[in-house]
Amino acid sequence: MEGNVTEHRGTPSVIDRYFTRWYKTDLKGKPCEDHCILQHSNRICVITLAESHPIIQKEKKIQSVNYQISAGCSRLQNKVSGKSKRGGQFLTELAPLCRITCTDGEEYTIFSCIRGRLLEVNEDILTRPSLLLEKPSTDGYIAVILPKFEESKSVTDGLLSRAEYEEVVSKRTAVKPEPC
């Protein structure tokens, strides 16, 4: 069973039960800046850091998380209303969601990875950035995005499956003994 190797349990986890894992590696050409997209069977997507992301791999200490991606645009301003989620910001694949600054001075930008309407961002990581390291694929999520109904199948076309992602990561290890 995939994904629950670290959890000693006989049953699939919440993510295994309801979500499909998709990945995008080396975002914007930056090595190892991998993202994980959890797609629920109801088409909703949760954007998270992949386990191979430098922040997690190098167990970096996070100084701040900033959803203000430009002078005029903050993801914190995003508001949706009604069943149809009117008013949410519409994101394309390479729309930045937030910037994470680490105590070593490194800054990482997290991207949408998929087209869709921004439903919510995770305000908990503003006050508890450590969640990104402790629970990167659940409580440390970055954002929730709702793809268009007609794009719910095609939205993951450019992404890697779990198996493909694992292959990419294992090849990295083969090329360089010290990854990233």
Partner 1 sequence: MRKIASKDLGMLPLKEKDRPIVRALLSAGCCARCILRFCCIGLQSAYRQSYEDLMNELQTFVSAGGCGKSHDVADHEHTEDPPCKRVKLDTVEGDTEVVPHAQAESDLDTAEPKVCVVCLGVLQHFCDKTFAKKVSEAVTAEGYQFDSLVLSVSLPAQLSVREHSTWLLVKKEVREKGLCLGKDDVIQVKEAFKWIMNGLVSQELCVPVLAKSLFEVSVGFTHPETDGDCHFLATTCSDCFKPAKNKQSVFTRMAVVKALEKITDENFRRQFPCPPKCPTTRCTAQDIQCLHVSVFVAGRYNKFSRTLPQTPWVIDGERRMESSVEELITAPLLSAFRSEGFNFSSSGREDVDVRTLGNGRPFAVELLNPHRSQFSKEEVRELQEAINKSSDKIRVRDLQIVTRDAVGHMKEGEEEKTKSYGALIWTQRPIEKEDIEFIKDIKELKIAQKTPLRVLHRRPLAVRQRVIHTMTARFLDAHHFHLHLRTQAGTYIKEFVHGDFGRTRPNLCDLMKTDTDILELDVESVDVDWPPAVGD
- Residue 167 is a binding residue for partner 1 (CB under 8 A): no
Residue 107 or 123: the one with the smaller Cβ distance to partner 1 is 123
- Residue 144 is a binding residue for partner 1 (CB under 8 A): yes
Question: If 0-12 CB within 10 Å is exposed, 13-18 middle and 19+ buried, where does residue 113 land?
Answer: buried
Bridge partners for 136 per DSSP? none
Total residues in contact with partner 1, by rule CB under 8 A: 27
Query: Least distance in Å: CB of 35 to partner 1?
Result: 16
Please select the residue that binds partner 1; options are 29, 72, 82, 177, rule is CB under 8 A. 82
Stretch that binds partner 1, among 10-18, 56-64, 98-106, 107-115 (CB under 8 A): 10-18
- Residue 120 is a binding residue for partner 1 (CB under 8 A): yes
Rounded CA gap, 7 and 79, in Å?
A: 36
Bridge partners for 43 per DSSP? none
Q: What is the DSSP string of the chain?
A: -TT-TTS--SS--HHHHHEEEEEE-SGGG-TT--EEEEEETTS-EEEEE-TTSHHHHTTPPEEEEE-EEETTEEGGG---BTTTTBTPPEE-TT-EEEEEEETTS-EEEEE--S-EEEEEE-THHHH-TTHHHHSTTTTT--EEEE--GGGTTGGGTTSEEHHHHHHHHHHHHHH-SS--
The token pair at 42 is: 């109801």
Query: Least distance in Å: CB of 142 to partner 1?
Result: 11
- Residue 11 is a binding residue for partner 1 (CB under 8 A): yes
Query: Least distance in Å: CB of 24 to partner 1?
Result: 20
- Residue 133 is a binding residue for partner 1 (CB under 8 A): no
Stretch that binds partner 1, among 53-61, 90-98, 140-148, 161-169 (CB under 8 A): 140-148
Residue 139 or 167: the one with the smaller Cβ distance to partner 1 is 139
Please give the residue ranges that form the binding site for partner 1 (CB under 8 A).
7, 9, 11, 13-14, 18, 40, 42-44, 46, 80-83, 85, 119-120, 122, 124, 131, 135, 138-139, 141, 144, 146
